Amino acid sequence: MTHPPDTIARVCTSSTTGDKIPRTNHVKLAPICCIFLVMATVSARATDDSIEKLAQDSRCARALDWIDKNSDWVTQQQIRLTEIPAPEYGEGPRGEALKKLFETSGLRVQTDKLGDVVATRPGSDAKSVVLLVAHLDTVFPAGTDVNVKIKGTRLEAPGISDNGAGLAALAGLARALGESLIRTTKTIVIAGDVGEEGEGNLRGVRALVEAYGTRLSAVIAVDGASTDHITTQGIASRRFEVSITGPGGHSWSDFGAPNPITALSRGIVKFSSIHIPDEPRSSYNFGSIEGGTSINSIPARAAVKIDLRSEEDAELNRMETALRDAMQAGLREELTANHAGNDSLQVSFRSLGARPAGKIPDDAPLVETIRNVDRYLGNRSRLERSSTDANIPLSQGIPAVALGGGGKGSGSHTLSEWYDSTGREMGLKRLLLTTLALAGVQP
């Protein structure tokens, strides 16, 4: 781990008073500080040189050159993949298109029982695997217009960035590796997985991690576009459907009967008033609500789906308890307001999935490799936290991060989502060099 100059300077300062250490001690420590500085500089230079040497390998250089010349091809694949609808549990057609792209790149491809499209580039060591994965699915339901509108370098369509950008990056990476003819020590697996969004509960990546198990040396989730981050922490989440049922009735003749929609609304308002801390960072979202059959009928059922997230399990526990208490309180208020018996309404909670948390150390070899690549490419990035496919390997102690595929994008999970291909080459080169550095290039 390198020590920045300001850290070394603090070594030469008293930690208790802030005063300078007496000259005798300062003189003794000065050579030590200089040694640390030299060692850090030499170490950083050595790692930077290793990436430069990799990039100058004629085979790797051929792959980098392919990226420079074929950015437009990658963009065309992104458009084509985005225009194939991939709603929750409906990723099949998009998966088939991705499979053909992998096959034309010379990869051995199969589709597992869940629908994950898995392409393998064998290395000399089949027992050590570098896995790159991008999710096939979107948050948008069947019937959503996913036709891409092209405005210069800007593409507009639901799912164009999340995760059209990630899928296109994998297609580009596969083709660049194929063009390079480069051989690696570790086996490289490139996969488009199902079930990352909505209620998918990360089922695709769960299956992949289970299948490769102890063979996984590193996992990179390619999600979205941006190259300005390295996601090293997976945020935990829990998702529920809360439903309230009652006798129902006619809006006129049965007026005054307890209403499940009203009870649910009371509970939502109560929960929304609880304090959500900044540290640990936490969030909640009521994502969909349903109930009733007609405007003049008291509904017999109402339900809401909610997503809870936090950096710490203890806070998630508190939020879940608060949610249950708020919904019970909303039900009781509705019963009291309508002078109904305690058994007139019933509330139930159904788990829709849980994403485990996890974190890779800031100085882990995987993170340092990406930082070295960033330095070589002149890319500035920060460490970030999010909820992605990387959550699963991170929760199991497997080195994992999430990276963007290149370019810029915004409006994820909205109908106004957009992507700009400017800077795509940076993202592709970042993935290529990182993958090869991790897999090890053979002579």
**Which of 233, 203, 281, 235 has its CA nearest to residue 401?**
233
Cβ–Cβ < 8 Å for 142, 90? yes
d(CA 90, CA 147) in angstroms, rounded, equals 17
Exposure of 44 by Cβ count < 10 A (0-12 exposed, 13-18 middle, 19+ buried)?
middle
**pLDDT for the residue 367:** 98
Instruction: Please give the DSSP secondary-structure letter assigned to residue 145.
Output: -
d(CA 390, CA 385) in angstroms, rounded, equals 10
Tokens 């290395």 appear where? 123
**pLDDT for the residue 214:** 97
Residue 254: CB atoms within 10 A of its CB come to: 13
* Residue 3, token pair as written in the block: 């020590």
Alpha helices in 245-286 (DSSP H): 260-272
The answer, as to whether pTM is greater than 0.85, is yes
**pLDDT for the residue 343:** 87
Per DSSP, the residues of 37-80 read HHHHHHHHHHHHHHHHHHHHSHHHHHHHHHHHH-HHHHHHHHHH
**pLDDT for the residue 37:** 52
Q: What are phi and psi of 404, to 5 degrees?
A: -85, 160
Tokens 């509970």 appear where? 267
d(CA 324, CA 57) in angstroms, rounded, equals 59
Instruction: Please give the DSSP secondary-structure letter assigned to residue 21.
Output: P
- Output the tens digit of pLDDT for each of the chain's 443 residues: 444 444 333 333 333 334 444 444 544 555 555 554 544 444 445 557 899 999 999 999 999 999 999 999 999 999 999 999 999 999 999 999 999 999 999 999 999 999 999 999 999 999 999 999 999 999 999 999 999 999 999 999 999 999 999 999 999 999 999 999 999 999 999 999 999 999 999 999 999 999 999 999 999 999 999 999 999 999 999 999 999 999 999 999 999 999 999 999 999 999 999 999 999 999 999 999 999 999 999 999 999 999 999 999 999 999 999 999 999 999 999 999 998 888 899 999 999 999 999 999 999 999 999 999 999 999 999 999 999 999 999 999 999 999 999 999 999 999 999 999 999 999 999 999 999 999 999 99
Which H or E run includes 125? strand 125-135
Cβ–Cβ < 8 Å for 228, 382? yes
Q: Estimate to the nearest angstrom the gap between the alpha carbon of 154 and the chain centroid.
A: 23
**Which of 97, 81, 96, 74 has its CA nearest to residue 175?**
74
**Cβ-proximal residues to 357 (8 Å cutoff; 6+ apart), any chain:** 233, 234, 235, 236, 311, 312, 313, 391, 394, 395
Q: How far apart are the first and last CA of the chain?
A: 29
d(CA 437, CA 329) in angstroms, rounded, equals 56
d(CA 220, CA 367) in angstroms, rounded, equals 11
**Cβ-proximal residues to 168 (8 Å cutoff; 6+ apart), any chain:** 74, 75, 77, 78, 81, 405
Residue 157: CB atoms within 10 A of its CB come to: 24
Per DSSP, the residues of 306-366 read EEEEESSHHHHHHHHHHHHHHHHHHHHHHHHHTT--TTS-EEEEEEEEEE--EE--TT-HH
**Which of 287, 299, 295 has its CA nearest to residue 260?**
299
Helix %, strand %, coil % of the chain (to 5) = 40, 25, 35
**Which of 3, 145, 173, 143 has its CA nearest to residue 74?**
173
